[in-house]
């Protein structure tokens, strides 16, 4: 009998191989053939899963984003305790772009650069918006739960507040990655703890 292939799982495997190659060599220096060989499949088979190399970059970045959400955020966030959930999100975020997640950050930058270099501003905005929304929605859901429990004031616009908080965390991640890559030892996790202590105290009734 012919072997039954789980196409979604195979697509995921190719994505994880590709994001590693993109981060190590850069988007322009990685070929479809190289991705196929590293994935243990033929070059032609790649096109059963992706339209182009750029499509692989986009889907790889999204896939890694989804897996980080599952492994680092959803697994650790207790939405029955909204304030704790928001604090956990902030703590996990400061860990994201350390050395063990270097592949994702570099592919994330590649996604931005490749789209802008090709003048595809609308595409890059759509791609980044998808990634941003996944994380922002987690924060907003925790804040909405806090409002439902009477912990967070009902007048607060959770969508805007979640957007602002994630924008802060996104900037912090960039600074943390840059300093870490340069071998600097600034304690961004401690800096974030100080900020979040002030933020969460102000958020409560």
Domain boundaries, the chain: 53-203
State which of 54-58, 62-66, 154-158 shows the largest mean pLDDT: 154-158
What is the pLDDT at residue 103?
Answer: 62
95 token code pair: 């860990």
For 49, which DSSP code? T
What is the reported pLDDT for 102? Answer: 62
Predicted confidence (pLDDT) at residue 150 exceeds the cutoff of 90: yes
Mean pLDDT over residues 72-89, rounded? 87
pTM > 0.75: yes or no: no
- Which residue stretches of 26-120 are H helix? 32-39, 43-46, 53-68, 82-96, 102-117
53-203 CATH pick, 1.10.260, 1.10.1740, 1.10.8, 1.10.357: 1.10.357
Contacting residues for 162 by C-beta, under 8 A, at least 6 apart: 136, 137, 139, 140, 143
Top-confidence residue, 21 or 157: 157
Distance CA 77, CA 92 (A): 10
């Amino acid at each position: 009998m012919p072997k039954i292939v789980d196409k979604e799982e195979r697509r995921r495997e190719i994505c994880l191989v590709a994001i590693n190659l993109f981060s190590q060599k850069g988007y322009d220096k990685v070929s479809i053939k190289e991705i196929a060989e590293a994935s243990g499949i033929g070059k032609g088979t790649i096109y059963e899963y992706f339209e182009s190399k750029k499509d692989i970059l986009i889907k790889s970045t999204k896939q890694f984003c989804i897996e980080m959400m599952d492994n680092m955020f959803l697994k650790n966030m207790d939405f029955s305790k909204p304030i704790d959930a928001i604090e956990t999100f902030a703590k996990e975020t400061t860990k994201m772009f350390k050395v063990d997640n270097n592949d994702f950050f570099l592919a994330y930058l590649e996604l931005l650069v490749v789209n802008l270099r090709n003048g595809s501003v609308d595409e890059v905005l759509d791609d980044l918006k998808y990634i941003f929304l996944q994380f922002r929605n987690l924060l907003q859901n925790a804040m909405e739960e806090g409002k439902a429990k009477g912990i967070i004031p009902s007048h607060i616009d959770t969508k805007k507040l979640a957007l602002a908080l994630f924008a802060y965390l996104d900037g912090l991640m960039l600074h943390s990655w840059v300093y870490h890559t340069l071998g600097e030892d600034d304690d961004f996790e401690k800096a974030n703890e100080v900020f979040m202590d002030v933020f969460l105290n102000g958020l409560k009734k």
